[in-house]
Chain A
Amino acid sequence: MAALTIENLKKSYGSVKVLKGIDLDIEDGGFLVLVGPSGCGKSTLLNTIAGLEEISGGDIKIGGVSVDGLHPSKRDIAMVFQSYALYPNMTVAKNISFGMEIRGLPKSEIMATINEVAALLQIEDLLGRKPSQLSGGQRQRVAMGRALVRDPQVFLFDEPLSNLDAKLRVDMRTEIKRLHQRLKTTIVYVTHDQIEALTLATKIAVLKDGCLQQAGTPDEIYNNPANMFVASFMGSPSMNLMRAKVSEEAGQFTIEITSGAATALTLPVNGIADLQAYVGKSVMFGIRPEALTDPDGSDKKHGAEIVTRAAVIEVVEPAGSDTFAVARLGGIEAVARLRADAEVEAGQTSSLAFNMTKAVFFDPETELRIR
């Protein structure tokens, strides 16, 4: 059974439409990540699930039951806020127990639950402190503790890691994932960080301008993007997108990348049947940096589909484990991901290996995927 179902959800502030009919669900125990650039409506979507904002149309069901008009406290959810939203006048213990106290639970039960959660999150020695005396990471834990004691059907996380520094963010990410594996409670998680989305989710929903662009597993989203937006938003460095001309000769498609006076670059394409309709026209050719490598570092599993071409390297950016190179392909800039010890130098011409099994194509007008 789906833990959360969202049907044709609409939200507008006056004449401004923030959510334009979202359909989405997540199975019980799943980890749904809502991702998108700022202003895409992902936080609004989360707030409507929590009941902090009213919806303008459609329906939200938690555990199969519509929660429309239900007070946030009665939706069987718990939320971790971006700013943590810890009550500044209360100690950590009070922050965690406030909800239980409001619900009138007996003192002994409250104490037992606090201790249990504190042990789980390793914040036992912080219970007597005020939020202002905690570090960012500690506040984060307390905020999660406050959500955990509710033992809800669905956890809601609103960019919970965005206020932490880079190292702590990675640690907490792992911790959240471990917590999810242990508790197996459904989570809906908002972030603008596509790495967080890929690492945590069992299902990712990519939003843009209040519209759902694609929903699917991290693998689907990354390797089978439905449109150009998803392709360029997910992945870092982002996917190279180049305008290319399609031609056909004896059933073999070829694309030609060219810009201005630069020498054209041609590549063979296999297995994309719908390209037939684009013969003689332009498409957008997309290839991720890791599918554009130095020949020695290419993915040998796909030997037959590795195509090697010469390209001028403009900038070399060593990044420790890899080296990124900005190259000119038929006059268009593209990023290649080389092995750290690949011998390339700015200004020189090197061979680059194209893994064409990973290549994707989009219609330049509709920006939709050509399969």
Chain B
Amino acid sequence: MSGVSQDNAVTGNRLTRALIYTVLIFFVIYYLLPLYVMVVNSLKPLDEIRGGNLMALPQNWSLQPWRDAWSAAQIGVEPTGLKPYFANSFKIVVPAVILSTIVGALNGYVLTKCRFRGANVVFALLLLSCFIPFQIVLIPAARILGLLGIAGTIKGLILIHFVYGIGFSTLFFRNYYAAFPTELIGAAQIDGATFFQIFTRILLPNSGPIIVVTVIWQFTNQWNDFLFGASFSGFDSTPMTVALNNLVNSSTGVKEYNVHFAGAILAALPTLFVYVVSGRYFVRGLMAGAVKG
């Protein structure tokens, strides 16, 4: 008797598990489909897209769209391809990420381990700055960049990304260092370590994970930025996202969908690469930025 009901339970279980897997696989397809469409169609000649089926595999495999997107496509007025813009993005993002990470680490150290009067106010102001809609700063930021003589330059964008990255970097490091044993700081003080020695010799060597999280978070956000790029970049400082949008939404000429798809993948590659290589830290960063913020 009990054996029968046991069996029923198992078959019922098997059915639900099959259902669960079906649903999960359906959503795997859902999330992968746009990527599939991008990849497949970036490898087709244009007439195959226009005359054919977006889902179908290429009949004539072609790398030409990638070559075009990289070095020949018309962006703005010049047929340069996305290559210079790809480089621009790196030139902007790398210094800004490094700066905001270092400054965030120092802030996190001070705000957790060297409490001073007003520290809470400083932190609250930095924290709140993470969440402002950037539209609110566009007009004055454009003026300041003009006053500093760095409007429309790489330097100007580095400054902007750095400044608006301080909040999140500080938040990450502060939360990490808050859990860092204060006794270690006391021990180092008794050992005679100075303020900066404690930072470089004790804290930093133990900050590996949070440095990775911060760098990934800042890199992803800054690489994917569009608003600042669109507002403050000039002729030779336009970042990748803005260039891609110009390519896709240019009203002149034939719509080269295959080139657009190739360009979109190019724009996504650096962040996708970071995600694949260090997905764990990427998720941790998202969580830290969201749940704790």
Contacts and interface: CB of A to CB of B under 8 A. Distances in A.
Interface stretch (A31-39, A69-77, A256-264): A69-77
B186 A103 contact: no
B47 interface: no
B25 interface: no
B194 to A, nearest CB: 8
B133 to A, nearest CB: 36
Contact of B205 (A71, A86, A89): A89
A54 to B, nearest CB: 11
A78 interface: yes
A73 B185 CA distance: 12
Contacts of A99: 190-192
B206 A78 contact: no
Contacts of A83: 181, 183
A85 B193 CA distance: 14
B206 A72 contact: no
Contact of B191 (A47, A82, A89, A98): A98
A78 B193 contact: no
A79 B206 CA distance: 22
A130 B206 CA distance: 13
A81 B197 contact: no
Contact of B190 (A79, A86, A88, A89): A79
Interface in B166-207: 181, 183-184, 186-193, 197, 201-202, 205-206
B188 A47 contact: no
A203 interface: no
A79 B191 CA distance: 10
B186 A73 contact: no
A85 B192 contact: no
A146 interface: yes
A149 to B, nearest CB: 10
A102 interface: yes
Contacts of A340: none
B187 A85 contact: yes
Nearest to A47: B186
Contacts of B201: 87, 98
A79 B181 contact: no
A15 to B, nearest CB: 15
Contacts of B181: 83, 85
B186 A87 contact: no
Contact of A81 (B186, B191, B205): B186
A50 interface: yes
A102 B183 CA distance: 18
Given A88-B206, A89-B205, A81 B192 contact: no
Interface in A44-77: 47, 50-52, 71-73, 77
Contacts of B186: 47, 50, 52, 72, 79, 81, 85
A87 B187 contact: yes
Interface in B133-187: 181, 183-184, 186-187
A102 B191 contact: yes
A73 B192 contact: yes
Interface in A280-314: none
A87 B186 CA distance: 11
Contact of B188 (A88, A98, A103): A98
Contacts of B205: 89
Contacts of B193: 73, 98, 102
B191 A73 contact: yes
A78 B189 CA distance: 10
B208 to A, nearest CB: 9
B197 A82 contact: no
A71 to B, nearest CB: 7
A87 B188 contact: yes
Contacts of A51: 189
A77 B192 CA distance: 11
Contacts of B197: 102
A73 B186 CA distance: 10
Given A88-B206, A89-B205, A89-B206, A81 B188 contact: no
A85 B183 CA distance: 6
Contacts of A78: 190
Nearest to B186: A52
Contacts of A102: 191-193, 197
A123 to B, nearest CB: 17
Interface in B218-266: none
A99 B202 CA distance: 12
Contacts of B192: 71, 73, 99, 102-103
Max count, chain B CB within 10 A of own CB: residue among A51, A78, A82, A85: A85
B202 A87 contact: yes
Given A87-B202, A102-B193, A82 B187 contact: no
9 contacts: A50-B186, A71-B189, A73-B191, A85-B181, A85-B186, A86-B187, A87-B201, A98-B201, A150-B190
Given A85-B181, A98-B191, A102-B191, 7 more contacts: A50-B186, A51-B189, A87-B184, A87-B202, A89-B206, A99-B191, A102-B197
